[in-house]
Each structure stands twice: as structure tokens, then as C-alpha cells.
Amino acid sequence: MRAAIELRGVWHTYPGSRRWALEGVDLEIREGRILAVVGPNGSGKTTMLKLAGTLYRPTRGTVRLWGSDFWASDGSQRLRLRRLVVYVHEKPVLVRGTALHNVAYGLLLRGYPPEEALERARSVMERMGVAGLASRERGQLSAGEAQLVSILRAVAAEPRVLLLDEPTAHLDLEKRRRLASLLRELRDRGMGVVVATHDYLLARRVADEAVVLEEGRIRVRGPPGRVLEV
Ligand SMILES: Nc1ncnc2c1ncn2[C@@H]1O[C@H](COP(=O)(O)OP(=O)(O)OP(=O)(O)O)[C@@H](O)[C@H]1O
Ligand SMILES: [Mg+2]
């Protein structure tokens, strides 16, 4: 099966930096699979996810989305492809308004009628057991609640590939368990999921495949049981 997102020979350096954040990365992200990305602080996990999500343009190499060279595509093609992938920042970014409005926000941006957007938002909040937060204003959410809201906003938008950066940093054990179960359900419904994480328990619970980054290079890849030995 063709990869949904493919990084080929990707090198990346940040403006003003003299180091490579990524050095010659090859990666394939598939629909209906969960990929865990692990590695020490500064090893390049966030950079790799942002390149896969087309938030950054690689310094060298190609990023293909469903076979199309993203950065060689025209504006309308880029817009179409970009809608299929959502990257969730590790620090929650919430818009003004209630938690429910925030979860519905991605759908509202995509042009869904407000009633339907709110209905879908309510349903994913219920699925995660956080329907009780719906009417809470953004400033009244705890760190973990805000993190869940930002994850659920992406989930509600039903992308074909979901890129989660450190999704469990603020979550309690019960929420981690629920998130793992939600991710497996999304995977079983055909969504591709990538989780960059230091949470080996989450990675082992959900991943079909794992990669280990070190100093901007993929050092190991394979089945989580083998790759994620602690
Ligand atoms: N905005 C930036 N400007 C310059 N260098 C950066 C920037 N963001 C990251 N880097 C550098 O790029 C490299 C990879 O960083 P990245 O954030 O991808 O690591 P990470 O694996 O996600 O780390 P963590 O586990 O701490 O989240 C590091 O050397 C980091 O210092
Ligand atoms: Mg990171």
C-alpha cells in the first residue's frame, strides 16, 4: 500500500542554526497504522512531525503526501493535501470560547454547519469521558484538560493522518488509558496516527511500529516490542 506521507532524504536546519535538526531521514506514514516516534530531548521528533505535517519545508529532500511532492505542488493542491493531515502541538493552543467550541473549531473552519460541528464535538468529548468540560471557558481548564481539548479538536476533524506531539504529557493514568483506546479505534477505522512521545507505556500500548531518533537520525525501526525495550 502506498504511504500516505513519505519523507525521503530529508535534512532540516532551523534559520540561524548551524546544526542539522534532521539528517537524511526516510520515513513512511500509512493510513490504518499507529507509528510511535521516540528518542531523547532534541533528537528531532517535533521537527520530523512538523515536516510530515507540512508546517515546515525541509532544507533538503522531499515530502510526499499521497504520492504528490508537496512543496512542488501548486497552491490549491497544497491546500487540498494539507486538509488531510492535522498536527497537534504539544502545548495546547486554544481559541477564545468554551471547550466545546474549541473541539468544534476544526470542523467550523472546514465549513461544517455549526449544529453538526457541535454535535460531532459533543460526541468525541463523550467518547473521551470529558463531556462535563463542554461549557468550560478556555481559561478555566487545567493543563491536562486543555491538552485533551486540543487533541479532540484534531480528532473531531477526522483527518486521514493525525500527528500527535507528546499527547500525554499532562494526562492522568485514566486519561492515558482512554486516549490509547481512542487511538486504536481511530486506527481501526483507517486513520493513520503518529505519536511522538517519551511515554513508552503509551507507545507500547498502541503502536504497530516504532522508530527511535537520535541526533536527527533514525537509529532503529521495527515492532514496538523489540524497539521499545527499556
Ligand atoms: N526553532 C528552533 N530554532 C533552532 N533550533 C531548533 C528549533 N527547534 C528545535 N531546534 C533544534 O532542533 C533539534 C531537534 O529539536 P526537536 O524539537 O525536533 O527535538 P525533540 O526530539 O522534539 O525534543 P523533545 O523531546 O525535547 O521535544 C534540537 O537540536 C533543537 O535544539
Ligand atoms: Mg518535541
CA of 136 to the centre of ligand 1 (A): 33
pLDDT of residue 230: 64
Closest ligand (CA of 43): 1
Q: Is 51 in the pocket of ligand 1 (CB under 6 A)?
A: no
Closest CA to 35 of 7, 57, 13: 7
| Sign of the Cα pseudo-torsion (14, 17, 21, 25, in order) | positive
C-beta atoms surrounding 190 within 10 Å: 10
pLDDT computed for residue 58 by the predictor: 98
The per-residue pLDDT for 229 is 80
pTM value is 0.97
Pocket of ligand 1 contains residue 76 by CB under 6 Å: no
Q: Which helix (H) or strand (E) holds 213?
A: strand 209-214
Q: Is 41 in the pocket of ligand 1 (CB under 6 A)?
A: yes
**Can you tell me which atom of ligand 1 is nearest the CA of 47?**
18
With beta carbons less than 8 A apart as the criterion, state whether 20 and 180 touch: no
- Alpha-carbon Rg of the chain, whole angstroms? 17
- Output the pLDDT for position 83: 94
DSSP secondary structure string for all residues of 81-95: HHTTEEEE-SS----
Atom nearest to 213 CA in ligand 1:
21
> How large is the greatest C-alpha to C-alpha distance in the chain, in angstroms?
50
One digit per residue, the tens of pLDDT, for the chain of length 230 reads 789 999 999 999 999 999 999 999 999 999 999 999 999 999 999 999 999 999 999 999 999 999 999 999 999 999 999 999 999 999 999 999 999 999 999 999 999 999 999 999 999 999 999 999 999 999 999 999 999 999 999 999 999 999 999 999 999 999 999 999 999 999 999 999 999 999 999 999 999 999 999 999 999 999 999 998 86
The 10 Å CB-count burial string (b at 16+, else e) for 8-19 is bebebbeeeeee
Asked whether 39 lines ligand 1 (CB < 6 A), one says yes
Decide: 47 in ligand 1 pocket, CB within 6 A.
yes
Closest by CA to 208, choosing from 184, 229, 189, is 184
Model confidence over 142-189: pLDDT tens digits?
A: 999 999 999 999 999 999 999 999 999 999 999 999 999 999 999 999
Would you say 5 and 26 are in contact if contact means Cβ atoms under 8 Å apart? Answer: no
Please state, in angstroms and rounded to a whole number, the distance separating the CA atoms of residues 223 and 161.
Answer: 20
Could you identify the atom of ligand 1 that is nearest to the CA of residue 19?
A: 29
The reply to whether ligand 1 has any atom less than 6 angstroms from the CB of 25 is no
**CA 197 to ligand 1 centroid distance, Å:** 14
